[in-house]
Amino acid sequence: MVIAGVLAILPLASIGTARAQVRIKDITDIQGIRDNQLIGYGLVVGLNGTGDSLNNAIFTRQSLIGMLERLGVNTEDQAASLQTKDIAAVMVTANLPAFSHSGEQIDVTVSALGDAKDLTGGTLLVTPLLGADGQVYAVAQGSLVTGAIKASGANSSFTQGVPTVGRITNGAIVERSVNFTLATQTDPKLELRNPDFTTAERIADAINTDLGPGIATMDDPRTITLDLKGRNVVSDLAAIEDLKVEPSSPATVVVDEATGTIVMGADVRISTVAIAQGNLTVQVTNTPVVSQPGPLSNGQTVATAQTTISVKKGKGKKMAIVKGSVSLRQLVSGLNSLGVAPHDMISILQAIKAAGALQAQLIVQ
């Protein structure tokens, strides 16, 4: 039985095979220039009764007692009587961008750690953010926004978004920068985000053509080493980033069976193959029927169902021959000419691959 897809995609028949050139900065990164992940543990206060239950979240109780003692409030003797629900223990995460300096501000994400129901309207108290080396690189504090909508009534409730995760824009101040001096790098490396021999060679050729021979050397499909000894590294990298190349990528077909989505690369080719696509529809219909007893028969009214099953075969689906070495446009046009839906196209592509006629990598998600 063939089930028609609900997501109509593939208006790809109008897409040509010509490729545009892209800037080197859009497909590569400079080795060593990256973000650094930060993490911290803190407390959010000011919640409207939606915070942690101190009887269940022991760490929240201990953090609250420790914070109050540092502020000069002795609550050790009355720890058992603390019952506030306006506080929540949270984990605070952030990304420290490359070349960040002391005093700059970065965004932070706040996530509930205990059994808090909602962090909306809460305020994060001063929270040190640590790097992987255990050093403090930023300090976070401020009012957080969850962006969630939550409503409840007597018998029902509605929640949109995640009310236990919030965000503070510019909520952390950088206290320490990561030491990385780009100007002293004599042999920086470019790393391709999608490794490919052809693309790496084209990048090296474009750099050598613009800056001079021997500047760029391809080490592997991902890495290109630049020999900038005696040159201004920063200005040369700025010039290299704006150079344009034509990227190359392997022929790939990606299908998502859950949604019926099909994405094909421009280099997808198939050998000569014949395709037949059938359409068998089985329809089951239940019609309610009421059996009414006769007068004075002491019978009971009984409701039954009459089932009707019909089987239909689609017409007009004939065997089609798709010639070999066709382009993406021709391939999609050939499949569309059969009148098949995206879910059916997935089955056809899998069958073509099994027959050895699809000259591309098929990825099924």
Summarize pLDDT for 55-67 with one digit per residue, the tens: 888 898 889 888 8
> Is residue 241 over pLDDT 70?
yes
Q: What is the mean pLDDT of residues 101-128?
A: 94
The pLDDT value given to residue 277: 62
Instruction: Please write the tens of the pLDDT for every residue from 312-351.
Output: 555 545 555 656 666 656 666 666 666 667 777 778 788 8
Mean pLDDT, the chain, integer: 81
**The two three-digit tokens of residue 185, written as one number:** 């790098």
Average pLDDT of span 218-235 = 91
Q: What is the band of 231 on the pLDDT scale with cuts at 50, 70, 90?
A: confident
Instruction: Report CA-CA distances (Å) from 53 to 83, 127, 150.
Output: 7, 21, 20
| Confidence grade of residue 6 (pLDDT, cut at 50, 70, 90) | very low
Kindly report which listed range (196-205, 241-250, 259-268) carries the lowest average pLDDT score.
Answer: 259-268
Residue 41: per-residue pLDDT: 97
Give the predicted TM-score (pTM) of the model: 0.69
Q: What is the pLDDT of residue 304?
A: 63
Work out the average pLDDT over 221-248.
Answer: 91
Cα 185 to Cα 202: distance, rounded to the nearest angstrom: 23
pLDDT (average), residues 266-273: 76
Q: How far apart are CA 247 and CA 251, in angstroms?
A: 13
> Which stretch, 5-9, 183-187, 216-220, 346-350, has highest mean pLDDT?
216-220
Q: Which of these ranges, 14-18, 55-59, 259-263, 327-331, has the smallest mean pLDDT?
A: 14-18
With beta carbons less than 8 A apart as the criterion, state whether 360 and 251 touch: yes
> Residue 354: how many CB atoms within 10 A of its CB?
10
| Listed range (51-55, 183-187, 213-217, 256-260) with the worst mean pLDDT | 256-260
Q: Please say if the pLDDT value at position 309 is more than 60.
A: no
On the question of pLDDT at 45 being above 50, the answer is: yes
- Owner of token pair 């098949």: 340
